Structure 1
């Protein structure tokens, strides 16, 4: 199934786009999704330090993705 994926901040620069559709198997968890991203986009080697939101809510690694979900990859924010 295809999962719409939104990239924010530096991840947009690393991937070269702000939106992609990523193919995943049914019952893929957020942890599995991170692995897919890291394998496909080596630039995201620090993916475990990024926040992941599913349908506009922060998600932990054991959340199972469903058809129609929108996943956002949010890098750590710094500033003052």
Structure 2
């Protein structure tokens, strides 16, 4: 599964994208974020406030309870504003 990090998340974590293979118990977005947080202090800090993170699974906006079954890509980014 490809994980993409954008904007401030990318800066805090220090990587823009990575290929990962989460354990089988990671079945939805919430579980994935919890698992990513445990990967180190940079991840824990960047992903601490889930209300400030937007998620897309295979390029479709997703909620925390969205299933990851068959997902190939998850993008994590802060809320965007337009102008």
Which category of TM-score, normalised to the shorter sequence, fits these structures? 0.7 to 0.9
Identify unmatched segments of 5+ residues in structure 1.
Answer: none
Q: TM-score, normalised by structure 2?
A: 0.77
Q: Which has the higher strand share?
A: 1
In structure 1, how many angstroms separate the alpha carbons of the residues matched to 2:66 and 2:27?
A: 8
Deviation of the 1:78 alpha carbon: 4.6
- Give the number of aligned pairs: 78
* Poorly superposed stretches of 4+, deviation over 3 Å: none
Contact residue 58 and residue 71 of structure 2 kept, 8 A: no
Q: TM-score, normalised by structure 1?
A: 0.79
The answer to whether the aligner puts 1:61 opposite 2:58 as a matched pair is no
